[in-house]
Structure 1
């Protein structure tokens, strides 16, 4: 009987799985075809504080503007241009982490922490998840989460897990908080401002939902990690827990010197400075990219890395992130196609017409379901808020719902499907850094998404029952 090499078998099986680029390109084709069938239309928009928001009841049909072959290929270029800030951020993070990786500071610090926890693997993972979720809850980690994925990979390798666990510890930890966005000015703050609600009102209710989401996420992570720890074949990645490029990109060192402590202290100070800048100075992606340049240069100075070696390390690190960076542009191209054909407003107006005659609870759940689906197309929280909330808030008044319920439906819908939507540059970059194919990630995360959706449905029904108001 012929002996089968499990590694070779897994490699062949992986080759049969469509690459994330192939999947996104197929979705781009489907979106382009859809523009020939979905009527074009648009709401009027007003500009407030630099943001274009729709005027409720102003929807008008427009002449059809379907995507031509010329538009199709041009949309990819436009997607890359529109996503330039994220693309260059990812490349800069790759270069900066290559410098940090060269010093061994992060690896040494994590290994020391792991040794201190010894058999308390789950305690470490719980602490990391809670810390990242708290940062997500205040809106400090929506984009910055990309920068910490390599750390999750290092933790996963140290515990002999897989790349999925490495990405999940960081990404799901952060998004368990971000999905609720209790103190996030971009999601909750902006949505409530559009709806005419006091900013961050209903915080007690959101915090209760956050605790439920966080608990379910930690339980799910620990269950998966337990399975993989006992039997590597239980990994969704099969016999290859870490792709070769990921396996070789981050070394693990046991050494933790005084210089390493200085480097980690410098890195932590810079990241705290960024969080302060986000809330006090309105910093965003550009400032984060600049900050990582500062981190890389400062780290190189502390480590005394020669200039030529710094350049070589930085370029090599950026090259390793090229796959993750360019996939962001292709994901954005799907949105470009739908926006240019003027079909997004048609979708929003159609669902509003359907929801208006429904009973309160069903209408609220309908808003929720629509936002869950709409977020797969428009993964930008502020973009979705600007399109959806101006329509849903007055609709809530009409059908007897509070505007707080309408904003919650937007919040939950926008947040939950962020962990699966292929049009999210943040998600696609995060899993690409870990070398995790989108379909494999989908297989891993769908059960958790269903749990989140169920929690959201119960929470929204409760909010309707208690007539959750502004405070």
Structure 2
């Protein structure tokens, strides 16, 4: 039900995410005027550039002019082009799949068999399924599955946030706490000279615990919606579409559905094989999505003209979210122009050496959380910060394994809300959930995940957690 303008709650008056990100551009520009430019010397570790501890020094660098606030927007669009393209093609792919009816029939049949009267067990099951994908497959690699979870959430009687929480939350939490994350744990183990993916036991405890918190958080929201549909955090226009169009009893899979779904599964399998065997990334994923859309349309015996129409309808539906990715990338461009990233890392890391070990450990998660706004890449942040944090942990009596977990928590969990995370914005675009609504929904869950992480880190400090 639409709300009258005079009855809007304060958070419903929050400006459009594009306005919020542009305001952040102004804030970052002011920071480039206040914070002195500086840099670390760097060397290569396994072909990647890493900082050399103790080499930080200030440099002479001109601060970006006010006009750069506007210039970095198209520059950000160019740098984020691959992510923008995968969002547009992904939107087109799922419009074609929707047009075939296969996705709706699959979700309707699944919910019919498992029952929609008690959605909580299904929420828990699917949260752990998507969490496992985040643990083993990665983050952006799962973008194609987001709309399926959105449709599933709607089929259970929820809104777009339910499915987004299951998919984006599950993949994000799984990726953030994964004991086998090659981008964070793998790179950090290499820098710290530890056995690859060592310490998996305690990390697995954190991963399972955080996914349980997420499933509980989503289930509580779902129960609230089932009691009162007006409890949704989404406005009417934001939650339209992606609903089942007939009673659950009428859903069944036919031969065409199996052909289309088989095409989709085979396409994903080829994509994952390419990712793990040949190092495929966003561009190759986009190409795979495009091929799946065409072949799936043909398998459903759609005319070429219809496939074309549906594809571009889908791409148009995610345009706003895709462009937000490029706008947010402008923040990183502006930071690079001001050359203040290393200064921020040095300033945040230096006080940690003067704190007790437990306090320093917990503070390290917060330091990495702040740094993650400026360096949202997991491997990029590892290469920029772990050469500093590992020797620092040796000096203050913190084990290297604990320092890596503190980095993993601070970097990974905040990926789910920082506006500079292109993967997160891309998946929100696919789900058609506004960024500000997602942050409002997910932030309480983020606090719970941090509290759990701090308990695990306190245990790590107490047992002097080593590399086993």
Normalising by structure 2, we get a TM-score of: 0.94
Look up the match of 2:240.
247
Count residues in correspondence: 462
Look up the match of 1:34.
31
Report the CA distance between 1:421 and its aligned residue: 0.9
Look up the match of 1:311.
308
Look up the match of 2:228.
231
Q: Secondary structure of 1:183's partner? A: coil
Contact 1:236–1:440 (CA under 8 A) maintained in structure 2: yes
State which of 16, 20, 25 in structure 1 corresponds to 2:22.
25
Alpha-carbon distance in 1 for matches of 2:408, 2:327: 25
Superposed, which structure 2 residues align to 1:84-123 within 5 Å? 84-118=81-115, 119-123=117-121
Report the CA distance between 1:8 and its aligned residue: 4.4
Superposed, which structure 2 residues align to 1:437-448 within 5 Å? 437-448=434-445
Report the CA distance between 1:209 and its aligned residue: 0.9
Mean CA deviation greater in 142-151 or 37-46:
142-151
Contact 2:90–2:430 (CA under 8 A) maintained in structure 1: no
Look up the match of 1:131.
129
Contact 1:99–1:296 (CA under 8 A) maintained in structure 2: yes
Contact 1:135–1:141 (CA under 8 A) maintained in structure 2: yes
Look up the match of 1:44.
41
Report the CA distance between 1:17 and its aligned residue: 2.6
- Alignment of 1:415 with 2:435, yes or no, is no
Alpha-carbon distance in 1 for matches of 2:148, 2:441: 20
State which of 448, 456, 461 in structure 2 corresponds to 1:459.
456
Contact 1:45–1:54 (CA under 8 A) maintained in structure 2: yes
Look up the match of 1:368.
365
- Alignment of 1:352 with 2:349, yes or no, is yes
Mean CA deviation greater in 390-399 or 27-36:
390-399
State which of 297, 300, 311 in structure 2 corresponds to 1:300.
297
Look up the match of 1:54.
51
Mean CA deviation greater in 22-31 or 334-343:
334-343
Contact 1:180–1:210 (CA under 8 A) maintained in structure 2: yes
Structure 2: 5+ residue stretches without partners: none
Report the CA distance between 1:321 and its aligned residue: 1.4
Deviations 1:182-215 (A, max 9, x none): 1121221112112221110101111111111111
Q: Secondary structure of 2:44's partner? A: strand
Alpha-carbon distance in 1 for matches of 2:97, 2:392: 51
Mean CA deviation greater in 146-155 or 416-425:
146-155
Contact 1:152–1:170 (CA under 8 A) maintained in structure 2: yes
Alpha-carbon distance in 2 for matches of 1:337, 1:106: 41
Report the CA distance between 1:277 and its aligned residue: 2.5
Deviations 1:303-327 (A, max 9, x none): 2222222222211211111111111
Report the CA distance between 1:7 and its aligned residue: 4.0
Normalising by structure 1, we get a TM-score of: 0.93
Alpha-carbon distance in 2 for matches of 1:50, 1:91: 32
Structure 1: 5+ residue stretches without partners: none
